[in-house]
Structure 1
Amino acid sequence: MEQENTNEQMLKQEENEALFKQLTKRNDQYMMNLDKALIAANISEKKRESIYNDMLKTLIKGQKSGQTARQLYGTVTERTNALLEGPKEEETGRSEDWKIMLDGGLLMGAMFALITGVSGFIGKGQGSEMGLITMILNFIIGGFVILLISKNVPDKNKTKKGSTLRYILISTAGMLGWMFLMTASMAFIPTSINILLPGSVNIAIGVVAFAAKMYFKRKLNIRGGLF
């Protein structure tokens, strides 16, 4: 086994020597500086040869389209740090329910507020007023509906019967329920409590909510929502 590893390393060294000769001056200098940095960081020769083998093949391929080592890997310091830290594990799967609900609630709330506000200006004031309680409920119920729908999105990798029909039914029921509750809140909650908001305020709330959605999606790395 040890002999096999030695032979493999020797073959890789020979291949690397041949690949080095194909580098441009700039890329060759980059690799020389990287080699010094990795030696200073006590990276074993075997590991260095393996790193260089992968990098050299990428560099030579990139040279054909004019790409340099710095463009592909960043500075020597950045590449050295990346190699020392090792590859970062990519986060996969769905985010927690509350994150998806937050993302969905902000989206639905923003859309509803913007549509209501803009329709007011188009309709000369009619439909531009939304109650404060209705607005708050819109964000909460909208988030819950998006969470419910996202949990029932058909899995492309599975062929479970009825999953698509279930998704359509739940999506339709969820959206209809959301619209019904919004309309009912405006109809049955007295304006003394459900204080009416003018169209301009609705638009402002919509813009802020949409900006908040984009911010939290990046900040919390929200995965598994609909949008």
Structure 2
Amino acid sequence: MAEEKTVREKNQEAAKKQAEAVSQQKNKQIMEFNEKFEGLTKRNQDYMFHLNKALAEKNYAEREKVVSEMYNELMEKQKQGVVANKLYGTVNEKVEAILAGPKKEPKMPTLWELSLDNGLMMLALFCIMYAFLGMFSKSNQNAANGGIITLIVTSIVAGVGLGYFYRAMMPGQSKRRGWLNIIFMIAILMVVWVAAFGIVAIIPPTINVVLPPLAYAVLAVVAYGIRWYLKKKLNFISPADFRRNNQN
């Protein structure tokens, strides 16, 4: 038993010494790397010291590269009176951002994505409108245009039309397509929309069923929920935001 205990203690002591050696080596590397922060103000040096230490403790593989890039940026920015906290946020926030990796940039939506997005938005808006019409109208006659087929057709046509328009208006697209071509395509879409209304109007009410207001309200929530989910899933932003980001 005594021999067992001695062997166990020796193993524990050896493991402890090895851990201390690794820790000392890591601290030595950190201190040597921190010497590169010369030229920074005291506040910025302190920030970079703690950031470098935190990344080392997390065993971040590209620590030296990231810290060197930040150091070079700070050397330039501090000439304008910029401090690290203002530029990067707190040390913890910056470390979390580095470990999380670069954010995925929102992409320019395709025509079908814009059509789907706008179609669902129009579906939600039409559903809300029909729900109110159903609640306040005294007879279904006043809400005849709110049939389910009318709702679907108008949402699809409006979605495609708006999708094409927004896509055409994005930076670089209008010059490539030409204004006359854009106006011509929009005119065609308007004709298609009017024709769709005309076709739907001849569908008998027994097929183009008018739903109760509550059903329209539920459909509005569902359509908006699907739209929100798909925007997150497909990772695209609205045309207005895309134009703003592109200009910046």
What is the TM-score of this pair, normalised by structure 2?
A: 0.60
Q: Residue 111 of structure 1: CA displacement? A: 2.5
- Residue of structure 2 equivalent to 1:118: 132
1:31 to 2:48 alignment: yes
1:214 to 2:228 alignment: yes
Task: Give matches, 1:160-199, under 5 Å.
Answer: 163-185=178-200, 187-199=201-213
2 CA distance for matches of 1:226 and 1:169? 23
Give identity over the alignment, percent. Answer: 31
- Residue of structure 1 equivalent to 2:40: 19
- Tell me: CA distance 1:199–1:39, structure 2 relative to 1, closer, same or farther (3 Å): closer
1:193 partner amino acid:
I
Q: For structure 2, which runs of at least 5 residues remain unmatched after alignment? A: 1-34, 242-248
8 A contact 1:109–1:142 mirrored in 2: no
Q: Residue 181 of structure 1: CA displacement? A: 1.1
Q: Residue 57 of structure 1: CA displacement? A: 4.8
Q: For structure 1, which runs of at least 5 residues remain unmatched after alignment? A: 1-12
Task: Give matches, 1:33-182, under 5 Å.
Answer: 33-39=50-56, 41=59, 48-55=67-74, 57-58=76-77, 61-63=81-83, 69=85, 72-80=87-95, 82-83=97-98, 87-88=102-103, 90-95=105-110, 97-119=111-133, 124-125=138-139, 127-129=142-144, 130-153=146-169, 155-156=171-172, 159=175, 163-182=178-197
- Residue of structure 1 equivalent to 2:7: none
8 A contact 1:131–1:196 mirrored in 2: yes
- Residue of structure 1 equivalent to 2:16: none
- Tell me: CA distance 1:113–1:183, structure 2 relative to 1, closer, same or farther (3 Å): farther
Which one has the largest radius of gyration? 2
Structure with more helix by fraction: 2
Q: Residue 154 of structure 1: CA displacement? A: 6.5
2:49 partner amino acid:
M
- Tell me: CA distance 1:75–1:190, structure 2 relative to 1, closer, same or farther (3 Å): same
8 A contact 2:107–2:235 mirrored in 1: no
CA RMSD of aligned residues (A): 3.9
Q: Residue 147 of structure 1: CA displacement? A: 3.5
2 CA distance for matches of 1:139 and 1:147? 12
1:198 partner amino acid:
P
8 A contact 1:106–1:209 mirrored in 2: yes
- Tell me: CA distance 1:152–1:53, structure 2 relative to 1, closer, same or farther (3 Å): closer
Once structures 1 and 2 are overlaid, which stretch shifts more, 151-160 or 203-212? 151-160
- Tell me: CA distance 1:48–1:221, structure 2 relative to 1, closer, same or farther (3 Å): closer
2 CA distance for matches of 1:47 and 1:217? 32
- Tell me: CA distance 1:200–1:36, structure 2 relative to 1, closer, same or farther (3 Å): closer
- Residue of structure 2 equivalent to 1:6: none
Q: Residue 106 of structure 1: CA displacement? A: 0.4
1 CA distance for matches of 2:151 and 2:117? 16
2:158 partner amino acid:
G
8 A contact 1:128–1:199 mirrored in 2: no
Q: How many residues align?
A: 202
Q: Residue 127 of structure 1 aligns to a residue in which SS?
A: helix
Q: Residue 109 of structure 1: CA displacement? A: 1.6
1:149 partner amino acid:
F
What is the TM-score of this pair, normalised by structure 1?
A: 0.64
- Tell me: CA distance 1:189–1:153, structure 2 relative to 1, closer, same or farther (3 Å): same
